[in-house]
A and B are shown apart, each in its own frame.
Chain A
Amino acid sequence: MNLRHLFRPATALIALAGLLLLTSAPVLAADAGDDAHAADPAHGTAPAVQGYGDTHGAADSHAASPTFLQSLGYSYLTAFLFCLSFALGGIIFLIIHHLFDAGWSVPVIRLAEHLACLIRPLTVALVPLLVLQDTIWPWLSISPASDHSLDVKKVLLNRYVFNGLLIFVFLIWNCIAFNFRRYSLAQDKDGAAIWTQKARFLAGWGIFFYGPSLTLVIILLMMSLQWQFFSTIYGVYYFAGSLWLTLATLYGLARYLSTRELRPVLFPRQVHDLATWFFAFTVFYAYIAFSQYFLIWNAAIPEETFWYVDREKGSWWEVGLLLLFGHFFIPFLALLRIDTKMSLPVMGPLIFWAWLMHYTDMTFNVMPVLWKNGLHVTLFDPLCWLGLSAILAKCFWSDYLKYPKWAQKHPRLQEAVTHHEIPASQTAAE
């Protein structure tokens, strides 16, 4: 591991933290009284009997008036979950590519490898979350003895598993992402088939690790904010949104680079295929999101419905509708036609829209725990979101400039280059 490489994102993160502190100095001063108040974990967090539905333990004590650290922590968590999507989307893109022995996607796998390797700066970015864990996850400061739902889940929801599992999974994710790129770069030099076989083996065990580990990490980071909640499909829900975002981003990168550095290997057909996949995941996300809602709505069990009841209060209702229309209907209808998948006036704004919608989705999942009465945007939100995204963009771009622009000697490169039959509508339009 190149330590210098690890250091850069760390410096940027420290700079971001400094910026956050500076901009929030007045808030901090005003909150000083509250801070001392909330630092006592025993205060107001553990009523003797925890009921489902109406009281959700410590989350209620948050509702009164979130402290400076809580506000910062939740904004940072939302931004972190948004950014984690790029790395996890990149990893699964590579796993699928190698498992299917795909030919068409060869010109863009180098881009996916760089996206996957963003897991390293994200591992550094995990540290502030671990430091702030008591502030962000209310159940960490509650005794399982006083909370039934926590008691039955304490096998997973305890401090040791929480920290141990996060660190372990992030290390393995690093191992998967960097080995994919290492094999690919080694193949650039000698063109040996062994590197493809190694990558295929990695993808083989990688997919079995990826599914459960993503679900566990998302349960710990996102779902356990309201630890009484049950949803088996929750990890898949995050995964669907993540790959959706990654495909939109890959489409944008491929579209931009296909007329520049990647011109010799990337043709409209492959870019079109990425848009088709983006379209497929627009539907897949909606399918998962609707299934989760529909099953919980139909069963009407209080342990599950309270999660949605919280998200129908105040302006969270409107945010939910924004997701329904913005995350599904608008992209779905926009991508339905063959020719719009290559239309810049449609696809350009749609990529930025996808970023905004995925961030809104993360906000919808995280923030109602803190802001009970409706959407509440603080200065931390844009700062964390844009700051963390900018750091990742910088990491991606320096990787992109540093290495060969596509997998130079991939055995299926020739197949990919000749795979350029152009959809009829494009030639007709030209």
Chain B
Amino acid sequence: MEDTLHSLMLGFSVALQPSNLWYAFLGCLVGTLVGVLPGIGPLSGISILLPITFGLNATQAVIMLAGIYYGSQYGGSTTSILMRIPGEASSVMTCIDGNAMAKKGRAGAALCIAAVGSWIAGTFGIIVLTIVAPPLATLALRFGPPEYTALLVLGLIFLAYMSSTSLVRTLLMACLGLFFGMIGIDNMTGHFRYSFDLPELGDGIGIVPVAVGLFGLGEILATPSKNVIGEVIRPKLRELLPSREEWRQSAWPIARGSVLGFLIGIIPGSAHIISSFLSYALEKKVSKHPEEFGKGAVAGVAGPESANNAASTGAFVPMLALGLPTGPITAVLIGALMVHGVNAGPQLITEHPDVFWGFVASMYVGNLMLLALNLPLVGIFVTVLRIPYAYLYPLIIMFCVIGVYEVSHSIVDVWIMLIMGMLGYALRKFGFDPAPLVLGLVIAPVFEQSLRQSLIMSNGNYMIFTQRPIAVMLLIVSAGLLLMSAISFALKRKDWRAKLAEVEAGEGSS
């Protein structure tokens, strides 16, 4: 412990050097912008700025690039709340209640809670990272294919709880997402599936064009038909601060989101996205007023926004301690370190203590900067709403197209985005929630691959899932949840039918 404190002091001495402070600030600022702009995710932001870092030293490079990553988790909430367009895939859940709060005139409060929640979760994540990085990284390594499969089964079952419409509709959307996720080269046999001879489809349908199309374009297409003429929210300055009641309601969700997010973050995968989904489901389950979710529940903003920040910090644990990327973003960061001759791995802490501890310390500083950056700017972001739709929406469509094209310079991606936009519009009109579709798409390739890898390992024997303690535990939790939902499903059968009828009548609520 004392060693840790000493090392951390060394880290702060590195992180507080003016040039390092500057790069941390730059990273956080770019991250916030990347987060605000739909379609441009942290991965493309980091990739675009990667060449610039070749002129810097390793510490500066990793401080700046990591700043973009966790900074984007702050900014992502802004457009979610104000425009119901997730700036980041991980802010999808914030759209639901954040935007509902904005419609009730609590846009400022929602933004404020998201920023403060992000700060608390981010700082919490770094404290845990500082203390327990090595033992936790070992746990993440024990997540082999069977554990993944079990985790994703659990994730899918959680998904069933998130339905703001009906259970059936949610599962239908999730299945559609899983189906889209099947498109592309089969990793196990090399066959092309549903790719219609388009090489671009060989890699499958990207998450970015689908998310931007469904949430960005679909929303914009749906807006004019909704008759929301001139309903621009003009929050007064004092409304920017959440009320005491709202603070009270967000305290526990922030705490739960921080812990949940961090734990999911250290597990490889699109952790920051999955964590926000799970946090939302969790908050809805533990809430005394689950009926408020979807209509502007404070917990529905505070939980997921905290979770995605904690997850982005958690993702650094296996990266720093073992040199193992948990996703494409940490993979790029490892690449950036390697260019500077620093090998992320078990020996990073001993061989390059200045890089490791400087980086850790810079995240404490960076999170403070982000809070300072985001809170005063909340007012500026709110004014975005005052721009008439006639100007704002074409601009957003432009950003959607450019952003999607920018990811892999593929015109096919732009077409996918446009088609998904039409689909998103249609789904909205018929009262389907597109969020489960995106989650299905995200987990489909991982789910399929880990299931098939597990079966390769066991030579086709499904009992492998019962032979691994972590997998068994996850599956038991899944079974329990399924059982509980089945019981309530059977008991409230009439209610559920009544609800479905309501949904079909266009008054969807859970």
Chain A bound to chain B: no
